[in-house]
Amino acid sequence: MGKTTGKSGPLARRPDNSAFKQQRLPAWSPMLTASTVLPFFYFMALICMLLGVWLLLIVQSTQEIKLDYTEAGTCNICFEKRKNVSNAAQTCSCTVVFSIEKAFKGDVFFYYGLRNFHQNLRRYMDSRDDAQMVGRKKNLKSPSSYCQPFTTDQNGLPIAPCGAVANSIFNDSFTLTYHAYGSPPVAVPLLRTGITWYTDKNIKFRNPKTDNLTLAEVFKGTAKPLYWQRPVYEFDVHDPTNNGFINDDLIIWMREAAFPNFKKLYGVLYRADEPFTNGLPAGHYNIKISYNFPVQYFRGRKEVVLTTLTWFGGQNHFLPIAFLVTSSLILLIAIILTVVWWKFGRNGKNMEE
């Protein structure tokens, strides 16, 4: 019998006679030799080193001062007072004094920091109601079960905002004062609004529609979180437009930190008036602190951070060090390969065949 050449035969299953399907396209296969690989390694080591040094110089150009005020100055009295749970409702203020030797030029950012506070625990991060925070009235009166046990107060009223994240909000407040040489003390103005991400302030966090009602009337029938001093509609007593779920401090706190040691933005220096038009001048300062947030129960620490920023951010040395370490490793590998090539492969018999 002859070969079958019809539609069901072998020829019908053969790929088209094209350069692509028959794999006849031109191709380039690089020959990896010592003369091409070693220069590439040295070049990459040089590039990483230059990037690391450049980023390190940028990071070093920022100015930063950190003050651990957990027990500093007169705060040791408040620290001891907060050990007793029965004193939780009582106010306590303290003062920390410090000096700035070299003026902070440009925009100055004021942060508060916590240590050993784990916002990245899964159960803690889930304990919130995003539908409530976006302004849905249904969730205002019926919080999500994820907020348990912070859904209702002892009287059965729904909590707004509910959940462990909102309940544990950092509530210390600060007043920074500048003591110029030979001049009376001057309060350092800080911008306390407009410091959140645009998407957070305008999309992720919204107040319920008021329908010509006041914010207090909208939140009527709800309770404040257990450890809050004021309800959410009176959160900012100085700026009524900064109340409810669109309060900047609340929004910043609700963006959980990835690590147990973190800092969050408290305010930005307002540079409209003298002597702060160019930044923070050198001199003596003091911070008056309303000491409310207890840290003894989780063995934590509290601090304030004053810093300037560059396009690269603050004083974060991770990326410059990573580039320098990578450069060192690549250089070490290049040197080892060079020695091996010099000893065994210079005649081309072992490395270029």
Query: How far, CA to CA in Å, does 259 sit from each of 164, 175, 195?
Result: 17, 27, 21
DSSP states along 296-317 = GGGT-EEEEEEEE-BTTBSS--
Burial of 92-116, coded b for 16+ CB within 10 Å and e otherwise, reads: bebebeeebeeebeeebbbbbbbbe
What's the residue count for the chain?
Answer: 353
CA atoms of 308 and 221, how far apart (whole Å): 44
pLDDT number for residue 1: 47
Nearest CA-CA partner of 280 in 113, 107, 111: 107
CA atoms of 45 and 49, how far apart (whole Å): 6
Q: Which long-range contacts (CB under 8 A, 24 or more apart) does 208-214 make?
A: 208/135, 208/136, 208/137, 208/140, 209/135, 209/137
- At 208, the amino acid letter reads P
In the chain, what are the domain boundaries?
35-62+317-346, 67-309
pLDDT in tens, the chain (353 residues): 455 555 566 667 788 888 888 888 888 887 888 888 899 999 999 999 999 999 999 999 899 999 999 998 889 888 888 877 666 667 889 999 999 999 999 999 999 999 999 999 999 999 999 999 999 988 898 999 999 999 999 989 999 999 999 999 999 999 999 998 878 899 999 999 999 999 999 999 999 988 888 899 999 999 999 889 889 999 888 888 899 999 999 999 999 999 999 999 999 999 998 899 999 999 999 999 999 998 988 899 999 999 999 888 888 889 999 999 999 999 999 999 999 888 887 665 554 44
Query: How far, CA to CA in Å, does 250 sit from each of 171, 215, 235?
Result: 10, 16, 9
Nearest CA-CA partner of 96 in 113, 73, 77, 76: 73
At residue 168, the 3 state secondary structure works out as coil
pTM: 0.82
Cross-strand partners of 302: 114
CA atoms of 104 and 169, how far apart (whole Å): 29
Strand arrangement, sheet containing 108-115: 64-68, 301-308, 108-115, 262-269, 190-191
CA atoms of 127 and 119, how far apart (whole Å): 11
Yes or no: say if 172 and 266 are a contact pair by the CB < 8 Å rule. no
Beta-sheet strands, E only, within the chain: 64-68, 93-100, 104-105, 108-115, 173-179, 186-187, 190-191, 262-269, 279-280, 283-290, 301-308
